[in-house]
Amino acid sequence: MKTLALALLLSLAATPVLAKPVPPFQPWIDGTGAAEPQTQVQRIDADTFVIRQSVKTNFEAPFLYLLFGHDRALLLDTGAGGLKIRPAVDAVIAQWLAAHHRASIPLTVAHTHGHGDHHQGDGEFKDRPDTVVVGLTAPEVAAFFGITDWPRTIATYDLGGRPLSIVATPGHQPAHIMVYDPRERLLLSGDTLYPGRLYVPANMFGDYKASVDRIVDFTRTHPVRWILGAHVEMTRASGKDFIDAAPTHPDEHALELPYADLLELQAAVHKMGDTGQRDVHSDFIVQPLPPR
């Protein structure tokens, strides 16, 4: 009996324990300090950077993503205005080039979607050397990434040894996309899912629900470590958001969301039927809007 018990203990000790993913970020700038830089950059790995725009420059305080491959870099979104965003982007690129002993790398500037708080910095990149800025409409986005059957085709955009999946997710806005990075298992979700108010126009609720289904189907075979959206509008208190256009974000919710939140969102929108309803969850709020 003692031998059997010992064998069982050894067996349990040998079983690997799956630890929870370690949060990737230190606290973000939140407008509560007397002095705060206009942007903050945090690194996920040597080729993956997140840039946060200060809420003091614009209440939207969006997050931008800059990913590098061997052949090119991708900047996702250019901010909400109220500052010059290119210096922060160029500084990260210069740092990356120095670390890789290179003189230059082509840059693609794309967008999670076409709302104004995500492309106000586009003009700063129009004349930047070796840079292409993707258009804002669904046909322009589809043509650039090779999405032949919008929104059903899932395209691949290879940065050079780093293929990204481009998933069309209209609903919040007609040209919305998500970007999946298999290397880091990141889902860059824009405004479709983030810790905040998920605004869905009434006439696009069906598109939104179909997009949530599409991304869930995709992620069944593409594991997600973190979902990273474009804003934070929730506090750390369950289900409590900041007031609209809040000038500061004290006690702000973490940027990263667990994969379980995507499944929770899917269940929530299907429960609503054909009409969106305000629905408060711990990490996000579904917020219907009038038709647009």
Query: Strand, helix or coil at 96?
Result: helix
Q: Average pLDDT of 41-65?
A: 98
Cα–Cα distance for residue pair 156/164, rounded to 1 Å: 6
User: Tokens at residue 285, please?
Assistant: 């709020």
Could you read off the pLDDT of 66-88 as tens digits, one per residue? 999 999 999 999 999 999 999 99
Percent with pLDDT over 90 in the chain: 91
Query: Strand, helix or coil at 238?
Result: coil
Burial label, 78 (beta-carbon count in 10 A; 0-12, 13-18, 19+):
buried
Residue 22 confidence (pLDDT) = 67
Could you read off the pLDDT of 193-249 as tens digits, one per residue? 999 999 999 999 999 999 999 999 999 999 999 999 999 999 999 999 999 999 999
92 phi and psi angles, rounded to 5 deg: -65, -40
Contact 86, 40 (CB under 8 A): no
Query: 17: pLDDT confidence band, cut at 50, 70 and 90?
Result: very low
Could you read off the pLDDT of 103-145 as tens digits, one per residue? 999 999 999 999 999 999 999 999 999 999 999 999 999 999 9
pTM for the structure as a whole = 0.92
Residue 53 confidence (pLDDT) = 98
Beta-strand relationship, 256-257 and 155-158: unpaired
Does the CA dihedral 255-74-260-286 come out positive or negative? positive
Residue 94 has pLDDT above 70, yes or no: yes
Long-range contacts of 96-105 (CB under 8 A, 24+ apart): 96/46, 96/47, 96/68, 99/46, 104/129, 104/130, 105/68, 105/71, 105/72, 105/73, 105/130
Contact 131, 125 (CB under 8 A): yes
Instruction: Reply yes or no on domain 37-244+251-289 having CATH 3.65.10.10.
Output: no
Residue 280 has pLDDT above 80, yes or no: yes
